[in-house]
Structure 1
Amino acid sequence: MSIDFSKATGIHDDALRLRAERTKVLASNVANVSTPGYQARDIDFAASLRSALGSGDGFVDDLPLDTGGQDLMYRVPYHPAQDGNTVELGVEQAAFAQNAMEFQTSLTFVNMKLKGLAKAISGQ
């Protein structure tokens, strides 16, 4: 009998994939803070996760970052720059830190679940 780890970890494996993609988007925003005309992007995490879970396959595919996929949205700046750049460093750093914390939370949960399964398998 085999163990289906995707059922054991719930939605956290998909959440980790999506958080990793969001990290790439936020890092791109920070890297382009001084690029004139650069438009800050972000992922609606909740909507993307609902979409992935509603698709039936339970897997978050790589987001089409270069095609402007439906899951990738433009961020509306609080104080737009004159050069057309919409990246606000403080906002991006806060979003990046929150995303990293939530990634670590999901990773910790998956780790705890897998350790519990290992104990159950070994009979402890």
Structure 2
Amino acid sequence: MKLFSNTIGSIENALNYSSLKQKVISENIANVDTPNYKAKDVSFKKILEDVQGSRLEGYRTDPRHFSFSSGSVNPAVVTQSNAQYNENGNSVDIDKEMSDLATNQIYFDSLVSQLNSKFSILQSVIKGGR
């Protein structure tokens, strides 16, 4: 039985994404002074494909139109290899990572708030509105 038309499942998937992003950002911050360390990021596209179970494809009215689906499988965590911020080969931008960390925390807090409201509604229904 799907409660709230699977909203709780969607929030769970979003929390999993936020948790993975938090881990990757923390690894980047921990390795800010490591020589030749390449910053990593989370690929939202790959996670979305995994959740949906299939690839998104655009509707094409002409065979000459570009296809939106890709045949390659990208990992959820990708390494940014084309950037270098320090002379030691490290590509971690600490200001960007701290900004991403704050943004991810706000996103996580909003998801937890939504989940709490869903459980609060369910608890109210179980108690009979009391």
TM-score bracket relative to the smaller structure: 0.7 to 0.9
Amino acid at match of 1:107: V
| TM-score when normalising by structure 1 | 0.77
Asked if 1 retains the 8 angstrom alpha-carbon contact of 2:46 and 2:75, the reply is no
Amino acid at match of 2:117: M
**In structure 1, C-alpha distance between the alignment counterparts of 2:119 and 2:5, rounded to whole Å:** 11
Task: Name the residue aligned to 2:10.
Answer: 11
Task: Name the residue aligned to 2:49.
Answer: 51
| TM-score when normalising by structure 2 | 0.73
Structure 1's unaligned 5+ residue stretches are 57-68
Query: Secondary structure of 2:101's partner?
Result: helix
1:82 aligns with 2:87: yes
**In structure 2, C-alpha distance between the alignment counterparts of 1:8 and 1:43, rounded to whole Å:** 23
Query: Secondary structure of 2:109's partner?
Result: helix
Mapping of residues 85-96 of structure 1, within 5 Å: 85-96=90-101
* Percent identity (aligned): 27
Structure 2's unaligned 5+ residue stretches are 55-73
RMSD, matched Cα: 2.2
Larger Rg: 2
Asked if 1 retains the 8 angstrom alpha-carbon contact of 2:47 and 2:76, the reply is no
Mapping of residues 30-109 of structure 1, within 5 Å: 30-45=29-44, 47-55=45-53, 70-75=75-80, 77=83, 80-109=85-114
Amino acid at match of 1:70: P
After TM superposition, give the deviation of residue 95 of structure 1 in Å: 0.6
Moved runs in structure 1, 4+ residues, more than 2 A? 2-8, 74-77
Q: Would you say how many aligned residue pairs link Structure 1 and Structure 2? A: 109
